[in-house]
Amino acid sequence: MTPTVKCLVWDLDDTLWKGVVLERDDAAPTPEALRVLRTLDERGILHAVASRGEYGPAAAHLREHGVADLFCAVEVGWGPKSAAVRRIAEGLNIGLDTVAFVDNDPVERAEVAAVLPEVRCYPADRLAGLPELPEFTPPVVTREARQRRELYRAERRRTDAEDGFTGTGSDFLASLGLVMTVRRASEEDLARAHELTVRTHQLNTTGRTYGRAELRRLCASDRYEVLVAELRDRFGGYGTIGLTVSEFRGADSVLLLSLMSCRVMSRGVGTALIGHAVGRARAAGRRPLAEFVPTDVNRVMLVTLRFAGFAVTGTDGERVLLAHDGSVPPHTGHVTVVGEEHL
């Protein structure tokens, strides 16, 4: 199955607009280009630029016509466009097979296709029809997807700030003002919750995956509790980055699944989410338990459970069974957790 496009990389002159900026053509983005920009942006597909010319005039032209903020990366220069496309994919941390490239020049398209065969290339005269193609039509458009452009732009601001920070890593974390909001999952959260279970491997305690219908059933049951976590800092939001699924068995609250998006691995918020789940269980008069299923990549989550106060009590086949030892969860002072009781 062909992956859905995650980023469309644009040529500028005679593609986004008719004319050449360095020749002082007063070229505005075409109506077709504006429609494609906004339609794909609403679907969570990112936009970037790989174009020939001088960066300063091109960037100024984008700002002048009010479209600069629609692009997550702008590469303008005289080097090979394939190199620019590769840098864009690496900067956005996406696979080349999820990148598309549109250019009016067949030589430029051929160069990109030859060097990066995974990248799908389209001529500018097909631009208007791109939103109708299946590769530009995600099966589900989540709230997370609609925010994707701003999430990436916020991440770029964080990266720039961290690169210029002179203190320790702990000092930088403390400076972010991280706030994690944890609440019961609602219907509009289910698509993103499913996506997290499918895509998150390293920071996943059991590797379980849940479809939307199953998550809906769990949310409606008194035996289960499904929580989602959103994260923000002084640069903006990270979106929905965490999920827990707990089952109530008599006087026990069993954490069947706890996961965090790998995008926030360096933020140290996994322990805070598990600590919040422990606190909820105790407040309800239940004993906090947890399950862990080892995989090739998720050992860090066993360490996180142990650090949050869980101790191994036994095994059941491949499952490791843990019980909370009653200790106070470790201090995670760099992140403020806001539960639904405070919303």
pTM of the model: 0.77
Residue 247 CA to residue 177 CA, distance in Å, equals: 32
Contacts of 190 (CB under 8 A, 6+ apart): 212, 215, 216, 219
Hey, what are 48's tokens?
């970037």
* Assigned CATH topology for domain 168-342: Aminopeptidase (3.40.630)
Residues of the chain with CATH 3.40.630.30: 168-342
Residue 149 CA to residue 295 CA, distance in Å, equals: 32
Residues of the chain with CATH 3.40.50.1000: 7-139
Residue 167: count of CB within 10 angstroms of its CB:
10
Give domain 7-139's CATH architecture: 3-Layer(aba) Sandwich (3.40)
Per-residue pLDDT of the chain (343 residues; tens, 9 = 90+): 678 899 999 999 999 999 999 887 778 999 999 999 999 999 999 999 999 999 999 999 999 999 999 999 999 999 999 999 999 999 888 889 999 999 999 999 999 999 999 999 999 999 999 999 999 998 878 777 788 888 888 888 998 999 999 999 889 999 999 999 999 999 999 999 998 998 888 899 999 999 999 999 999 999 999 999 999 999 999 999 999 999 999 999 999 999 999 888 888 899 999 999 999 999 999 999 999 999 989 999 999 999 999 999 999 999 999 999 988 766 678 999 998 765 5
